[in-house]
């Protein structure tokens, strides 16, 4: 990756040309006029387009979360902003789910207060492009004390070369509980996806948000997600299940502000071919008595690669914080590669726990030998150990039916390798 970056410097290639910047501004304005933006969205879109003009692509030499991926090679001209995307939503009557085209009204007013407040347009050039070319948002609104019997299902399918900007907002009232399953699929066209999810759990509520990545072989996805835990005793569980995609890179944050808020971040990737999976996570302990746990695993075949950079930050006011962070990688070929860098930043000594760990290596030879001594053939023995390694993450999903469904998707990917 460094070699490509240096070659780019030698050729004096630019991250964005003047012509490209003009196209961004004009295309964003035209899209807003086409969609009939309300005033608040027109302002947000114009600000985002201006930021997309001003900001450069993230630099792998200057930005630690981008150390292993050179975004400067992206050519926006290859990705038209005309979108061909379908959205299917299933939800219990207890939940209000709106696929929003941003028309005026009460829902739009509530959306105006939330949209862009957790994941800002100025985060980097990707998020600026997201808001500049935003077409719709799926809003999941859960009232106080509600607990839907079935998960909310959001299925997004993208077809044809394009820049796609899916946006999801989840808001829950006090003492509610909801499970949201969002699935991304795409065809074999070259697609640049920039999904954003903003989660706002109410006091004493619990949000379980599971994301399934089944992107096509030429799709590059750069996703952003932030849980804003401003209310007391709010809880959040997230799973990122990466089953396919040329590049799947995510920036995932949990801001633990209210007293007693909790976050559990789970990630699981099974890579083959030249698939590239890269996650940056931030467990940000801001308020007192907060808890966070993280377990990210990747199993890699062929020339697949995984990258993990995670920061657990415990602020001065985060007394009695309890934080754990683990990244485990299983290398199933000599050409697979994993890079892992878990980091702790602790600003107070009054903590319950702040731990981290990372591993990368092949299947344990002693375990393989033990299974073979019991008469199990080598390929079967290796498969058993790989499955046990992967299943450990999905086992944390509390809903048994949903757990079996996710394991079924994972098994289909493993069997196809």
pLDDT of residue 390: 93
| DSSP result, 383-412 | HHHHHHHHHHHHTT-S-HHHHHHHHHHHHH
Three-state SS for 5-30 is HHHHHHCCCCCCCHHHHHHHHHHHHH
Q: What is the full per-residue pLDDT of the chain (417 aa) written as tens digits?
A: 334 333 333 333 334 555 566 679 899 999 999 988 888 899 999 999 999 999 999 999 899 999 999 999 899 989 988 777 899 999 988 888 887 666 555 566 667 788 999 999 999 999 999 999 999 899 999 999 999 999 999 999 999 999 999 999 999 999 999 999 999 999 999 999 999 999 999 999 999 999 999 999 999 999 999 999 999 999 999 999 999 999 999 999 999 999 999 999 999 999 999 999 999 999 999 999 999 999 999 999 999 999 999 999 999 999 999 999 999 999 999 999 999 999 999 999 999 999 999 999 898 888 888 888 888 988 888 888 888 999 999 999 999 999 999 999 999 988 876
55-100 tens-digit pLDDT: 999 999 899 999 999 999 899 989 988 777 899 999 988 888 887 6
Three-state SS for 235-248 is EEEEEEEEEECCEE
Question: At 273, phi and psi to the nearest 5?
Answer: 60, -130
Give the residue carrying structure tokens 């994301």. Answer: 211
pLDDT of residue 196: 98
pLDDT of residue 96: 83
pLDDT of residue 79: 92
pLDDT of residue 14: 39
Q: At what angle do helices 125-132 and 39-54 cross, to 10 degrees?
A: 150
pLDDT of residue 9: 35
Give the residue carrying structure tokens 């302002």. Answer: 43
278-287 tens-digit pLDDT: 999 999 999 9
pLDDT of residue 319: 96
Give the other-Cβ count within 10 Å of 55's Cβ.
Answer: 19
- What's the rounded Cα separation, in Å, for the pair 183 and 413? 15
CB 243 within 8 A of CB 275: no
pTM score: 0.92
pLDDT of residue 6: 38
CA angle 370, 375, 381 (to 5 degrees): 60
């Amino acid at each position: 990756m460094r070699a490509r970056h240096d070659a780019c410097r030698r050729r004096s290639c630019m991250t964005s040309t003047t012509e490209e910047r003009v196209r961004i501004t004009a295309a964003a304005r035209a899209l807003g006029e086409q969609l009939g933006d309300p005033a608040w969205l027109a302002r947000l879109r114009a600000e985002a387009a201006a930021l997309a003009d001003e900001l450069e692509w993230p630099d792998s030499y200057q930005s630690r979360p981008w150390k292993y991926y050179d975004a400067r090679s992206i050519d926006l001209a290859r990705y038209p902003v005309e979108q061909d995307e379908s959205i299917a939503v299933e939800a219990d009557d207890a939940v209000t789910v709106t696929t929003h085209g941003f028309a005026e009204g009460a829902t739009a007013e509530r959306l105006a207060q939330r949209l862009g407040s957790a994941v800002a347009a100025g985060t980097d050039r990707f998020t600026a492009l997201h808001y500049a070319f935003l077409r719709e948002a799926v809003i999941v609104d859960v009232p106080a004390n509600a607990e839907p019997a079935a998960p909310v299902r959001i299925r997004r399918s993208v077809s044809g070369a394009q820049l796609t900007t899916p946006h999801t907002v989840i808001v829950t009232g006090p003492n509610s509980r909801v499970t949201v399953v969002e699935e991304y699929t795409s065809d074999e066209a070259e697609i640049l996806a920039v999904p954003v999810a903003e989660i706002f759990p109410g006091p004493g509520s619990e949000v379980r948000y599971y994301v399934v990545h089944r992107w096509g072989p030429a799709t590059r996805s750069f996703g952003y997600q932030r849980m804003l835990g401003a209310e007391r005793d709010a809880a959040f569980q997230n799973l990122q299940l990466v089953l396919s995609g040329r590049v799947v890179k995510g920036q995932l944050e949990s801001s633990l502000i209210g007293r007693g808020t909790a976050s559990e971040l789970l990630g699981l990737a099974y890579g083959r071919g030249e698939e590239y999976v890269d996650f940056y996570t931030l467990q940000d302990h801001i308020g007192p008595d907060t808890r966070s746990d993280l377990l990210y695993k990747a199993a890699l075949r062929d020339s697949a690669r995984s990258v993990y950079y995670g920061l657990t930050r415990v602020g001065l006011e985060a007394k009695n914080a309890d934080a754990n962070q683990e990244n485990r990688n299983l290398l199933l070929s000599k050409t697979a590669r994993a890079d892992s860098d878990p980091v702790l930043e602790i600003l107070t000594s009054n903590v319950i726990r702040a731990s981290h760990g990372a591993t990368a290596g092949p299947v344990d030879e002693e375990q393989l030998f033990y299974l073979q001594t019991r008469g199990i053939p080598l390929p079967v023995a290796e498969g058993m150990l790989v499955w046990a390694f992967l299943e450990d993450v999905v086992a944390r999903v509390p809903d048994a039916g949903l757990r079996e469904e996710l394991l079924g998707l994972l098994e289909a990917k493993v069997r196809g390798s």
